[in-house]
Amino acid sequence: MHIVHVVGARPNFMKAAPVMQALGRHNGVRQTLVHTGQHYDFNMSDVFFRQLEMPDPDINLEVGSGTHAQQTSQIIARFEPVVLKLKPDWVMVYGDVNSTVATAMVCAKLLIPVAHVEAGLRSFDRTMPEEINRLLTDQISDLLFTPSEDGNHNLQAEGVARHKVHLVGNVMIDTLVRLLPLAKERLPKELPERYVLVTLHRPSNVDDADWLKSLVDVLGGVSLDVPVLFPVHPRTRARMSQAGIEAGSCNSNLQILDPAPYLEFLALQSKATAVITDSGGIQEETTFLNIPCLTVRENTERPITVSMGTNTLVGRDIPRLRTELEALLAGKTKRGKVPPLWDGHAAERIAQVITHNRASYPPSMAGRGE
């Protein structure tokens, strides 16, 4: 059985790594790793491959940055000849980034079976590019692996056939469970006893200069009491400099840092007093680690982190962000539980399903490129 895995952007890497490892333990499975090149900086991509012990990609499509249409269309155009040549039994796509939907679409048109890991999540907010990517990918996937039961309900409501959907748990937590002991060895020696850890990169938070300034003002205010560590995504760094917010102009307790590698960031999360984010993955990781998380968004595609975990949605509401943060820093924290099947074994369950699902299309169909 030949399986092609597609990764492209930072949050894909920690999801694909455990699945590749689990499939590697099955006899008769050959795996090919395709990187679309959506993320290309060393600290957004290469360092993750090393730390996650992933093999180097067999093929890199090197699409780089661009508008959504440019990036998606480049991935589609460059992936089609590759997948036609590889003729895999399955293509596995991860998460909700442009690389996910673009390559799933190529496979659907070529009748190459495609499996979506982290299926079924919905924010019900179609202004988010990721929501469009999730909806489309799930409609055209042949196997859908959900991290939590809400995913199954969403897919059922959208008419996805039940037999395609498998509740397997959260593969991102597999990686966390495996690497947490190693991450703890990476804790910086001079780390303060208490600190707030921040990540922000969504267009809704960083593309509007006034809003971004007010968020940074809140962080500046908090940092007068508790140090704030803010590893900055390249997109956010660009927007900050366009908005005239320079690292030097912030007070020294607000530390504007480069994007952190996986192990270093996990270490920082595991000891944080509170985390402020707009990332999907970090909402899940903080829930697993039982660290309070404030999400600066109106909605989340990961509602289980709110209903069961340590996550609180603060919306686009600066006074609420301040109040919630003050409460957390005063020790008023929400108690959380780890959702079912977030147990470090999700990838093994995926490997079981995949290896028992022979491709359902005649191989000759995987050649209809013209």
Q: Please say whether the beta carbons of 123 and 301 come within 8 A.
A: yes
Question: Is 44 an interacting residue with respect to ligand UD1 (CB under 6 A)?
Answer: yes
Question: Is 166 an interacting residue with respect to ligand UD1 (CB under 6 A)?
Answer: no
How remote is the C-alpha of 284 from its chain's centroid?
10
**Which listed range, 84-92, 176-184, 234-242, 287-295, lies at the site for ligand UD1 (CB under 6 A)?**
234-242
Question: Is 235 an interacting residue with respect to ligand UD1 (CB under 6 A)?
Answer: yes
The span from the CA of 30 to the CA of 2, in Å, is 5
Report the DSSP pairing between strands 254-257 and 228-231.
parallel
Residues contacting ligand UD1: total by CB under 6 A: 20
**In the complex with ligand UD1, which residue's Cβ is closer, 41 or 326?**
41
Question: Is 201 an interacting residue with respect to ligand UD1 (CB under 6 A)?
Answer: yes
**Which listed range, 8-16, 183-191, 292-300, 339-347, lies at the site for ligand UD1 (CB under 6 A)?**
8-16
Q: Any bridge partners for residue 93, and if so which?
A: 6, 116
Distances (CA, A) of 185 to 120, 148, 180: 35, 31, 9
Q: What is the dihedral of CA 101, 106, 112, 115, to 10 degrees?
A: -10
Question: Is 324 an interacting residue with respect to ligand UD1 (CB under 6 A)?
Answer: no
Query: Taking CB under 6 A as the criterion, which residues in 274-303 touch ligand UD1?
Result: 279
Identify the active-site residue in 2, 201, 345, 356: 201
**Shortest reach from residue 265's CB to ligand UD1, in Å:** 12
Tokens of 227: 């140090």
Among 52, 97, 115, 289, binds ligand UD1 (CB under 6 A): 97
**Which listed range, 137-145, 218-226, 231-239, 289-297, lies at the site for ligand UD1 (CB under 6 A)?**
231-239
Nearest to 60 by CA among 89, 41, 33: 33
The CB density around residue 50, as the number of other CB atoms within 10 Å, is: 13
**Which listed range, 96-104, 146-154, 221-229, 314-322, lies at the site for ligand UD1 (CB under 6 A)?**
96-104
Question: Is 206 an interacting residue with respect to ligand UD1 (CB under 6 A)?
Answer: no
Catalytic residue at 201?
yes
Pattern of binders to ligand UD1 over 49-88, x per CB under 6 A? Answer: ----------------x-----------------------
Residue ranges with strand state E in the chain? 2-7, 30-35, 59-60, 90-94, 114-117, 143-146, 165-167, 196-198, 228-231, 254-257, 274-277, 293-295, 311-313
Token look-up 């009748």 returns 111
Question: Would you call 196 helix, strand, or coil by DSSP?
Answer: strand
- Give residues in contact with ligand UD1 (CB under 6 A): 9-11, 38-41, 44, 65, 96-98, 129-130, 201, 233-235, 238, 279
Q: Which residues are catalytic?
A: 201
